[in-house]
Structure 1
């Protein structure tokens, strides 16, 4: 099973809350692409670090970054702050890819193994729960060999604002087909 394949349909947890499965309709995918493009157009941090978009969709994204010499700490391994920045960026993009302005409430990251200069890191992020005001996102950072580098768990707050206006969504609002 691939990393992003775990949540396929709406389910109910023990508390009776609907778990997020994600709308993968054509309209929702197009809105997600527009949301991510809009966020990326003003993302100076990602530009500066060479973070690239590998794939995306409603409530999910894969970003990548190559570990440069300037990212190394005193031990000649990638400073955890750069790994966190990659994971946090993926968290933000996935949380807002359903046309909602979402901001982080908290994050927890576990570093599993070090990354070295020249490694290509991939941050696979998916929303695992999307409520009306809050959501949960899981980000798994792996290297070019598929080895896990870190895992970030984040909770976000939905500000109740659309990221895109009606002209930018094609009239489809928050991911509904137009």
Structure 2
């Protein structure tokens, strides 16, 4: 499924170097190289950068049905320090109704270790949102 257009419209994702690896209805996988400008004072991935990576995966997975979805709630738990060369966020749909949908996003490093767990809920507007309507 081509959701690259969605990511290309996201200026923050571009600024952070987030790239889309895979997308299917209700699913997305994104990656972000852990450069020095994405690290905090302790030399590990900044929590805001990790959150932004997970949020982009949520946005792609939820909007992949062609219906505009906007986050109404998001929480994150940091499990391990964000270290390594590349971080990945994989979003999986937990539930999807007419108005609300929930997603679980796992953030891992390049050693495939979970470093954070993110849960997001979106409101599904009754508005078409595709490459053609965006």
Cα deviation for residue 102 of structure 1 reads 0.3
- The runs of at least 4 consecutive aligned structure 1 residues that moved more than 6 Å come to none
2:94 alignment partner in structure 1: 128
- TM-score w.r.t. length of structure 2: 0.93
Q: Is the 2:7–2:19 contact (alpha carbons within 8 Å) kept by the matching residues of 1?
A: no
| Contact kept? 2:4, 2:20, Cα under 8 Å | no
TM-aligned CA deviation for residue 42 of structure 1: 1.1
Deviations 1:126-169 (A, max 9, x none): 1111100000011000011110010101111011111027xx49
Secondary structure of the equivalent of 2:31? strand
Report the structure number with the largest CA radius of gyration. Answer: 1
SS of 1:101's equivalent in the other structure is: strand
Structure-1-length-normalised TM-score: 0.71
Q: RMSD in angstroms over aligned alpha carbons? A: 1.5
Show structure 1 runs of 5+ residues with no match. Answer: 1-31, 170-178
Summarize the alignment of residues 71-82 of structure 1 with structure 2, pairs less than 5 Å apart: 71-82=38-49
- Unmatched runs of 5 consecutive residues or more in structure 2: none
Residues matched between the structures, number = 133
- Which of 73, 79, 94 aligns to 1:112? It is 79
Where 1:38 maps in the other structure, the secondary structure is: helix
In structure 2, the partner of 1:62 is: 29
Q: Distance in 1 between matches of 2:9 and 2:64?
A: 15
Q: CA deviation at 1:43?
A: 1.2
Distance 1:94 1:69 in 2: 28
Comparing both structures, which one devotes a greater share of its residues to helix?
Answer: 1
Instruction: Tell me how far apart the structure 1 counterparts of residues 85 and 4 of structure 2 sit (CA, whole Å).
Output: 26
Higher share in strand: 2
